[in-house]
Chain A
Amino acid sequence: EEQVVESGGGLVKPGGSLRLSCAASGFTFSDAWMTWVRQAPGKGLEWIGRIKSKAYGEIRDYGTPVKGRFIISRDDSRNTLYLQMNSLETEDTAVYHCVAGLGASEYDRWGQGTLVTVSS
C-alpha cells in the first residue's frame, strides 16, 4: 500500500529550527514529486513547497510565506522527504502534511501530518 508518514513535529520557540521527515513506502519514491502542505489549527490548506524527482532535476519551489526560511530536500536512497524549517514564527504553527504525486496528480497520497507548535 502506498503510504507516507510524517515525523519530527513538536514544540519550538520563535526563531528556532526544526526538521520534519516523511517516510515513503509502497511506491517508487525516486519517481515521485513530493510536496509539503500545512494547515493551521482550524484553518485551510497552505502550500509550502515541492521538490521534483531527480529525473526532473530535483527542482524546488516554495510558497511565499516560507521562501528563504524553509528548505525541502529528499534522500531517494532512504525513501525520505525532509523539510528544514528555520527562523520559525508563531504563524508557522500548523499540522504539516507530506503529499506524494504518484502519476495522476501531485496530490495523490497524503500523510496524516505532524503538528508543529511555535510558542515561547
Chain B
Amino acid sequence: DVVMTQTPLSSPVTLGQPASISCRSSQSLLQSDGNTYLNWLQQRPGQPPRLLIYRVSNRFSGVPDRFSGSGSGTDFTLKISRVEAEDVGVYYCMQATHLPQTFGPGTKVDI
C-alpha cells in the first residue's frame, strides 16, 4: 500500500497569517493517464470531511481561494494564505492513484 505522511501533525496558527502542510507519498502518484490523484480534505470539529483540493491543485466548488495546492510526484503542499477562524480542523491528504487508496494521518490546525 502507498504510505502517505504529513508534516507537521499539529500546527498552531495565527489568524491572518499563512499556514502550510506538507504531504509525501511512498510512491509517485502520477498515473498512466497523466493525472496525479492527490486530494486534500478538511474536517472541521464535529463535521464529516469535505473536499478542498483535487488532483493536486484544483479547488473544489465553494472553497475559498486562500486555499491552494501544489506539488508533483511524491511531494505535495497545501497552503492557506491567511488563516481564518473557520479553518480550524484536521487536514488530510489522500491518494487515489493506486489501490487501495490511502490517507495521510492528518494535520491538526488550531489557533
Contacts and interface: CB of A to CB of B under 8 A. Distances in A.
A108 B96 CA distance: 13
Contact of A97 (B49, B61, B100): B49
B62 to A, nearest CB: 11
Contacts, number: 59
Contacts of B55: 105
Interface residues of B, number: 25
Q: Is the interface of B mostly helix, strand, loop or mixed?
A: loop
Contacts of B37: 105
Given A110-B49, A111-B48, A113-B48, A44 B103 contact: yes
A106 B106 CA distance: 19
Contacts of A47: 94, 100-103
A108 B51 contact: yes
A64 B1 contact: yes
Contact of A105 (B48, B54, B103): B54
Nearest to A35: B101
A91 interface: no
